[in-house]
A and B are shown apart, each in its own frame.
Chain A
Amino acid sequence: MRARAGFLWVIGLLLFSVPASDVCADDAYAGDAYADARAAMVREIEGDVRATARWIGKGELDPRVMEAMGTVPRHEFVPESELRWAYANRPLPIGYGQTISQPYIVALMTDLLSPGSDDAVLEIGTGSGYQAAVLSRLVGEVYTIEIIPELAASARKRLARLGYQNVAARTGDGYYGWEEHAPFDGIVVTAAAGQIPPPLIEQLKPGGRMVIPVGSPFLTQELVLVEKDAAGAVTTRALLPVAFVPFTRAPE
């Protein structure tokens, strides 16, 4: 208890020492109390990626993605009660029945979007804002929509406080996407649903990619990657984030 209170105090101190304006927030954290934990988390993600290389089709993720994972202060996005787990490779509750995904899954989803530095990306389901923060380091514009007003408000405040200026957040219905800023190079739909809203597919650029995590809360079972080709034809791809093949031997 005492150690935790000490932690909180250090964090509080760090918060107040963040320069208010033009310095990107992440630089302020370069030497923060969590730097080691974050570096360890990145190494763990790299290990998981190597272990699942066959299933996700690559032995390592885009170095830019890994750099973003190593910079964004995840502990800012988890509730106080979960701080001790902030950099553990596991999902965490953030209240309102929502979770912040396992770092490995966030890295994988971000990589699947193949983010380019001028891209516009739409996220449905802001949650704590962590995914949006990771994306903001990689792409030009991030647009994020959250259905639960309380979460939307706290995420908006948090993203502003930490200086993620290329993220636009709003509260509301994600079904129709964000018409004014469409089309998008990438879309992340973190809301669980048995269907993919047709307007989102329409707002995906030809050549764009959409990623949908599927499963129950705390357990991402598969990632569905939706790709739209230059001609507008849509395919989906089910990716298992775990090294598990059902066939012991290939059937003839």
Chain B
Amino acid sequence: MPLLFAVAALSGAALAFEILVMRLFAIIQWHHVAYMVISLALLGYGVAGTFLAFTKEWLKRRFDLAFAASAALFALSALASVTVVERIPFNPLEFGWDFDQQLNLAALYLLLALPFFFVASAIGLSYSHLTREIGGIYRADLLGAGLGSLAIIGLLFVLDPEDGLRAIGALGLIASALALLGAKGKGRLAGFACLAPLLALVLLWPGALIAPTPSEYKALSLALRVPGAEIIAQRTSPLGRLDLVESPTIPFRHAPGLSLASRLEPPEQLGLFTDGDSMQAITRFEGDLERLAYLDMQTGALPYHLLERPKTLLLGSGTGGGIWLARLHGAASIDAVELNPQTVELVKDRFAAFAGHVYEGPELSVHIAEARSFVQTTQASYDLIQLSLLDSFSAAAAGVHALNESATYTKEAFEAYLARLEEGGLLAITRWLRVPPRDALKLFATALQALEARGASEPENQLALIRGWKTTTLLVKNGAFEADEIAALRRFCTERWFDLAYYPGIEAGEVNRYNLLERPYLYLGTKALIGPQAQSFMGNYKYALEPATDDKPYFGHFLKWRALVELIGLRAKGGLALVEWGYVILLATLALALAASAVFILLPIPFLKRAARSRSQGPSSEGPGFARIAGYFFALGLAFLFIEIAFIQRFTLFLGHPLYAVAVVLAAFLVFAGIGSGFSQWLTKEAGGPSSAGYRGRAIAIAISGIILVALAHLVALPPLIESAVALPRAAKIALALLLIAPLAFFMGMPFPLGLSRIAHDRPALVPWAFGINGFASVISAVLATLLAIHLGFTVVVGLALALYLSAALVFGRAR
């Protein structure tokens, strides 16, 4: 039936649009802003439910045309909203200073909510109109969304975001055409007559109007201001847009944290920007390693002064600076691990000659993988595992990483790194030094706990920490540090005017000499962390120093509530600079979503009540009340995404690359839930007739029991299963992931259509309202899941999801 295809196409287009807008905003602004904007724009889904509650009778009478018009409006508004949004002078950096920015932000939400509003209007209307097909529509909705997400992730490797956006518009128009097939007479003709020019408009929409331009404050924009600087290569993928910049008149000279004792200037460099920020440099190499000696004047060079020709693993090899440093010190072998294949391609192929063929050599192996997964999978062992400093300082400074899940810096990750070290080998981690200190102390605490978990009896003898004026480097040794190593460490620091912060036996007199902090924070902090008062020290410290774990993988989250309150009090006196914006934005997003949901959910209730009274014939006054309906659909909306998000996180590590995880897990959930929904349709059609309310109630109870049982089994069995299957080839891992997700998703696809078809039967006027509530809950869910995971962990998020499913079954699963 064409309408089901129309629903699938439209739903796919909407999900693709969501992912694409995230990408666009990550290029224009920063990804935490992208996250907020898209979360709130999705409120358009919920608002459509409210809108339909008022208008559905009128729209139902011209269903096919209304659907087709909504789909066409989606297509148009998708392109138009992006066009306008890119011209709003929104500058999140001024957010704390300037009230106008808040108005700009509100305009962004409203504009981007439009396309979602139109999609949800079309789909919500289908549920109200074709009440006997609810299971089938939901199946089409989910399958379409699943395929849409897979398609856009694939397409973003080959298409520019602009072309991706045009394709999404076209898909929306295809959905519109499919719906028109069901219409009759003049309307149908007129509809098709409109679609042809619309298609031309969408396909010919000027790229210049929708191409993302990075904010003028991003590093790429600043670099391009320099006379003569230009982009000489560009790559785009779902992992980010890469811009390679040549700056012939004023060189980049990228050498973060370079020692003040150094007189060395880096050779010519090309700047590689990811999403317009986070610069790395490709350094010209013409055979003279001496020209690269400046690399040895950074804190990250420390481990090479303690080891002889180490077998080295570089996690995050990027543009290859770490490889040169390893070669400078004659590393016996180098395994270079990099997440982004396009980065490696640029350095290894296109600019190989410039880069001195850095990615080639008999001692070097290159691996495209996520750092942690690589370590988890490899059987090799190393003398040195080096974690590079790849994120930009300004991004780190503004706390935009607070929401980044990262399996790289968790306690379990440290255990995995340590397990791959040879006896006496070193793990070296370099980070930006932020004042007041955060990262370095959290890393230190994480290393301590990991060492303890591996049974070290005196972990404090296996750690060393140094700092320059801008960076810190932590060493964790597989074994206790020896006197000659400590001598080498002190020599390294003295020659470079770096400060000692910790080594076994450090004295108060030798810290805080070259780069003075108001107090020797790192020395005092590390000393407290190895002492008996570690817990109370962490409790009293104003930043969160508790190590990240796989269950709470937020290394970048440092903010404590009481510090936030204090800093906002100090906002005009410099406090704004210390606020962690990623987290604040998360809170603001949640608050706004809650407020909007409350308004739009409550708004139509009096109207719906009146409508129900005036048409009190039939079963309409007998079904479940407003509170039960709201409770049921709100709980389902929260729970579905809680589980989905938790599983994406679980499988990221397993599948080895975040893109595979998002694509596989998202698609698997949507597709198998779609199949479950189709099954529920079959169940209710079989049942039919007057007993169906009770029948559906039982079906809901069974489906939710299924969800709870399978999810509980996952909580228990998944970690060991994943552990034992981690070394399988990727195809087998993907198959296993699908197999594991299928039964859970199958059951999860059932409660929504079963509940909705029950309402369609008992109280049809409330169908769009219920649909809208589910939409609001989904938006809140995505934001809330992150907040809960930061503070309580993903296990709790899954547990809460199950409690929500259980309560949904209790309010709705009974026959009456």
Contact = CB atoms under 8 A, between A and B. Distances in A.
Interface stretch (B145-153, B450-458, B573-581, B770-778): B573-581
B351 interface: no
A96 B578 CA distance: 25
22 contacts: A55-B518, A95-B216, A96-B216, A175-B253, A196-B469, A198-B265, A216-B395, A216-B397, A216-B398, A216-B577, A218-B93, A218-B217, A221-B397, A221-B435, A224-B469, A226-B260, A235-B513, A238-B515, A242-B570, A245-B542, A252-B528, A252-B533
Interface string A92-122: 0101110000101100000000000000000
A175 B227 CA distance: 15
B541 to A, nearest CB: 6
Contacts of A104: 573-574
Given A246-B541, A251-B524, A235 B516 contact: yes
B570 A244 contact: yes
Interface in A205-252: 214-222, 224, 226, 234-252
A150 to B, nearest CB: 8
Interface stretch (B48-56, B218-226, B364-372, B473-481): B218-226
Given A245-B436, A245-B542, A251 B567 contact: no
Contacts of B398: 216, 219
Contacts of A234: 260-261, 497, 514
A35 interface: no
A212 B552 CA distance: 36
A48 B574 CA distance: 9
B709 to A, nearest CB: 46
Nearest to B541: A246
Contacts of B258: 194-196, 198
Contacts of B256: 194-195
Given A149-B227, A238-B517, A245-B436, A194 B533 contact: no
Nearest to B575: A242
A226 B521 CA distance: 19
Nearest to B225: A148
A55 B519 CA distance: 11
Given A220-B574, A238-B515, A249-B540, A201 B260 contact: yes
B393 interface: yes
Given A175-B253, A236-B516, A242 B578 contact: yes
A85 B528 CA distance: 45
A198 B263 contact: yes
A51 B437 CA distance: 22
A251 B542 contact: no
Given A195-B258, A201-B260, A147 B469 contact: no
Contacts of A44: 572
B169 interface: no
A166 interface: no
Given A51-B573, A234-B497, A244-B567, A218 B94 contact: yes
B357 interface: no
A161 to B, nearest CB: 24
A236 B395 CA distance: 23
Interface residues of A, number: 60
B97 A244 contact: no
A95 to B, nearest CB: 8
A192 interface: yes
A183 interface: no
A52 B537 CA distance: 25
Interface centre among A93, A248, A251 (most CB of B within 10 A): A251
A90 interface: yes
B514 A97 contact: no
B566 interface: yes
A215 B469 contact: no
A55 B436 CA distance: 12
Given A104-B574, A194-B254, A251-B537, A218 B97 contact: yes
Contact of B577 (A221, A243, A250): A221
Nearest to B214: A97
B574 A196 contact: no
Contacts of A48: 572-574
A187 B257 CA distance: 19
A70 interface: no
A173 interface: yes
B687 interface: no
Which 10 interchain pairs have the tightest Cβ spacing?
A194-B256, A242-B574, A246-B436, A219-B577, A97-B216, A216-B394, A251-B528, A241-B574, A248-B540, A195-B258
A191 to B, nearest CB: 9
B525 interface: yes
A91 interface: yes
Given A104-B573, A237-B516, 7 more contacts: A175-B253, A218-B217, A234-B514, A237-B517, A244-B436, A248-B541, A251-B524
A127 B257 CA distance: 24
Given A96-B225, A97-B221, A216-B398, A236 B469 contact: yes
A89 interface: yes
A151 B550 CA distance: 48
B574 A195 contact: no
A170 to B, nearest CB: 13
Contact of B435 (A172, A197, A202, A240): A240
Interface string B527-571: 110010100010011110000000000000000000100110010
B810 interface: no
B469 to A, nearest CB: 5
Given A236-B515, A246-B541, A247-B524, A220 B577 contact: yes
Nearest to A81: B89
Contacts of B216: 95-97
Contacts of B724: none
Interface string A63-98: 000000000000000000000010001110101110
Contacts of B531: 252
B617 interface: no
A41 to B, nearest CB: 12
A221 B543 CA distance: 16
A250 B243 CA distance: 46
Given A244-B542, A247-B541, A215 B397 contact: yes
B574 A97 contact: no
Contacts of A55: 518
Interface string A174-204: 0100000000000000001011111001100
Contacts of B234: none
A175 to B, nearest CB: 6
Nearest to B253: A175
Contact of A219 (B253, B255, B397, B518): B397
A192 B541 contact: no
A10 B515 CA distance: 49
Contacts of B222: 97
Contact of B573 (A197, A224, A243): A243
B470 interface: yes
Contact of B574 (A201, A236, A237, A240): A240
B250 interface: yes
A238 B528 CA distance: 22
B253 A195 contact: yes
